[in-house]
Amino acid sequence: MFNSGDTAFVIVCAALVILMTPGLAFFYGGMGRRKNIVNNLMNSVFIIGLGITLYALVGYSLSFGESGNAFIGSLKHICLFGIDTNSLTGSIPTLAFVAFQMAFAIITPAIITGSVAGRMRFKALFLFIGLWSIFVYYPLAHMVWGGGLIGKTIGALDFAGGDVVHISSGTTGLILAILIGKRVDYMQISYRMHNLPFVFLGMALLLFGWFSFNSGSALSANGLAAHAFMTTAISAATGMLAWIFLDIMKTGKSTLIGACTGVIAGLVGITSAAGFVDIWAAFIIGITVSPVCYCGISLVKKIFKIDDALDAFGCHGIGGIWSGIVTGIFANPSINGGRPGLIYGEFAQFFAQLEGMLVTLVIVVFGTFLCAGIVKALMPLRVGRREELVGLDVSEHGESAYPSFTGLD
């Protein structure tokens, strides 16, 4: 018999995690350029439609369908076959579990789009996201949470998606940014994010949803969910403060974009660890993840000259890797199982985290090149130079968010 309290909790969390995707659209849209705001919003919006459709068709089955396979689930539940109102997963209806996991399958590929903002053809992106979900995301979800290689065999811990969500999307974004190349005027003109209030609104929606993202991963309205809520709040808060401090140290001024980015970095940093580490460890995670991401963004853009347009890899990829590392350092088995972290004098969990992340990176790199190769064989990945200079709002969608604006972007 299902627990009505747990069921209500997970359904509300699923709805709030879905809200994160429009939040990400505002965050990316505000950070981008005026001429690409419609495209940046559309790049997140279409994934709501595509993600839900694919997940109900095959995604849940490939992620959580019983197969005995270490890499991929079965097609036992294609079109959610065999799951009805009486099906249970723990103390909640299986359909509530499906809804919660479906929300993750939507937000994850949306993160990728930040790396290629302003230059990737919409049709190519649409096809790539569909293929990537099937060949990368669903297998990873199975390997980490569905009883596969990373979670069961290796024993790596990932409470709410450090591997599955952040490392996978951030690394994919980096590879796509390299394959597609830099924006035509990258490093030649000064870019200005066109709408800081949009960035703030996006951050607020992401923060609001992230509490459900992490707390909901307990799959029950219990003490573990409350624990994850507090570790999430503390890491987000200290991540913001650390980024403000870094801004002041570098420029002498605090910035709103820095504060918002610090919150996101803190949230990414705690994702793997939220239900496995002590409250006090969340302070350390938040304080450390911001400088790690801060340096990572600088490394990618200034040293390697890669045009990760909206810092998807710098924040999510690097922050996700840091999240896995600190989980291996601070994991406390008395909270939610697993093995002790490095701080308790044990090495097994720490090495399991590294091994799990290595497997994730291999799957992501191979899968991304495969999906990009398929798409490239069918159509160009990138828009033409003229279309890029005009802006993707007009060239890709035939729309303008600011039709009365006639100045320079």
> Residue holding tokens 């009486």?
86
pLDDT at 185: 78
pLDDT tens string 248-268: 999 999 999 999 999 999 999
**Distance (Å, whole) CA 110 – CA 45:** 9
Average pLDDT of the chain is: 95
For 120, phi and psi rounded to 5 degrees?
A: -95, 135
pLDDT at 1: 80
Range of the domain at 372: 4-382
pLDDT at 405: 65
| CATH code (residue 174) | 1.10.3430.10
The answer as to whether 405 is a domain residue is no
Residues ≥6 apart with Cβ < 8 Å to 18: 48, 103, 106, 107
pLDDT at 409: 59
**Distance (Å, whole) CA 354 – CA 365:** 16
pLDDT at 4: 96
pLDDT tens string 171-189: 999 999 999 999 997 776 6
Report whether 258 contacts 243 (CB < 8 A): yes
User: At 63, is the pLDDT very low, low, confident or very high (cuts 50, 70, 90)?
Assistant: very high
On the question of pLDDT at 407 being above 70, the answer is no
Collapsing DSSP to helix, strand or coil, 188 comes out as coil
Collapsing DSSP to helix, strand or coil, 271 comes out as coil
pLDDT tens string 103-113: 999 999 999 99
pLDDT at 302: 86
The answer as to whether 392 is a domain residue is no
pLDDT at 281: 98
On the question of pLDDT at 382 being above 80, the answer is yes
Report whether 406 contacts 35 (CB < 8 A): no
Mean pLDDT, residues 23-29: 97
pLDDT at 208: 96
Structure tokens at 263: 């919150």
| One-letter amino acid for residue 317 of the chain | G
The answer as to whether 393 is a domain residue is no
Mean pLDDT, residues 54-73: 95
The answer as to whether 245 is a domain residue is yes
The answer as to whether 402 is a domain residue is no
CA–chain centroid gap for 209, Å, is 12
**Distance (Å, whole) CA 289 – CA 118:** 28
Counted domains in the chain? 1
User: At 193, is the pLDDT very low, low, confident or very high (cuts 50, 70, 90)?
Assistant: confident
pTM exceeds 0.95, yes or no: yes
On the question of pLDDT at 408 being above 60, the answer is no
Mean pLDDT, residues 206-215: 97
* 141-145, 349-353, 405-409: least confident range: 405-409
User: At 68, is the pLDDT very low, low, confident or very high (cuts 50, 70, 90)?
Assistant: confident
- CA 340 → CA 156, 215, 229, 232, 308, distances in Å? 12, 22, 21, 20, 36
The answer as to whether 277 is a domain residue is yes
β-pair partners for 92: 89
The answer as to whether 165 is a domain residue is yes
Distance from the first to the final alpha carbon of the chain: 58
% of the chain exceeding 90 in pLDDT:
93
The answer as to whether 406 is a domain residue is no
